[in-house]
Structure 1
């Protein structure tokens, strides 16, 4: 009996010690405010990136590759004539595979032939966006039959992102002050700061696809580049 009484007293003592600790933790959690701030800055695009290339077929890899090289060399030559330096023209993708051709008669399917396919893509950085249309037309005229991935950027993106971060922090602080005031409290120190990095580009032509040589006088509108910044602040409340 004495053992049971001692055990009960011990449990009661442990519980009495634990409850204030739990209460303190609840108070600690309740005295914090987590708030998110956002900011967006719109910039005029001044650079562009475009992918152009060629897909060729042949009975052998050498045949398909030789035809491909001729087109790629012609594309590079025509693009350079527009003032695009060679250092801004790089290979973004190259692959070779065998494609089987089938003949279907009724419900039966049989292999009749096949060919090797060569894909070669170039990534072109255009620092003068007034030349985007000319680059597309020149590449098409040179034999490009794959054009895609056109996106616009701004050379002022990095500095604008830092400015957007400042604005996002101010946005979060303003919201926090209002919420604290409404609840009869005031802001204390900042306990934690988190930022969410986001890149925003203007994809005016996300995929152009296969284009014929006759596709000339292409009209492209660059638009603006959006710089997004998001921060999350954790405030102590008084």
Structure 2
């Protein structure tokens, strides 16, 4: 896990708000409250250790029963081929199963012929990202004819989010310290904190069709996932 600061000092967004004096009780006057608002960012990069593949079988036939039978036969072979790659059954899950009637294009004046299309898609979770190519080869050789995408995640994503958040808080405090010193004021305490974590930025993957065609021509690289966190901290100031 490699860490990096998400923003520079020059990019600090600082708002200094001065609130008018208020009364805390009958006849009791409260001193002016000064608020400094700063933002902090944190960023953590993690190397994915889990690959998620979405693939399936699509069959077409003029009769629905035939399309279903063909699909069942092919998908059974595909799942068996994937399991033969030492993938546990619990890591193979059906994500979509559909039967639809479509019309194939015909020449002008001809009556369109209906065809039944059966699509069965499974999601395969691999705990070894280096096995992606082998699993794709085995599945397609067994009859899989659609690959809908490959994504890479990490089982350490939660820890990385927490570390990014800690970085963001430290970043905000460091900016506040510098600004307070420059302004000749002292940080008295935290008034409020707002947190907004950014999405996990995944490495760009090839188009599903390109991945399907070129799976044996180039290795699949998991790259790095980038996890970001942002905080807005309002500090009370004391002169």
Does TM, normalized by the shorter one, top 0.5? yes
Instruction: Measure how far apart 1:201 and its partner are.
Output: 4.9
Instruction: Measure how far apart 1:181 and its partner are.
Output: 2.4
Aligned mate of 1:24, from 9, 18, 21: 21
Match of 1:72 in 2: 75
CA distance in 1, matches of 2:32, 2:98: 56
CA distance in 1, matches of 2:49, 2:188: 43
1:147/1:207 contact within 8 Å kept:
no
Structure 2 gaps, min length 5: 1-18, 23-29
DSSP 3-state at the match of 1:148: strand
Instruction: Measure how far apart 1:155 and its partner are.
Output: 1.7
Aligned mate of 1:87, from 67, 86, 90: 90
Aligned mate of 1:103, from 102, 106, 117: 106
Matched, 1:35 2:38: yes
1:99/1:116 contact within 8 Å kept:
yes
Change (3 A) 1:145 1:218: farther
2:48/2:225 contact within 8 Å kept:
yes
2:203/2:225 contact within 8 Å kept:
no
Count the aligned residue pairs: 213
Match of 1:182 in 2: 182
Instruction: Measure how far apart 1:28 and its partner are.
Output: 9.4
Give TM-score, length-normalised by structure 2: 0.79
4+ residue runs of structure 1 moved beyond 6 angstroms? Answer: 27-30, 210-214
Match of 2:118 in 1: 118
1:47/1:153 contact within 8 Å kept:
yes
Higher helix share: 1
Match of 2:163 in 1: 163
1:143/1:213 contact within 8 Å kept:
no
Give TM-score, length-normalised by structure 1: 0.79
Match of 1:44 in 2: 47
Structure 1 gaps, min length 5: 1-21
Match of 2:140 in 1: 140
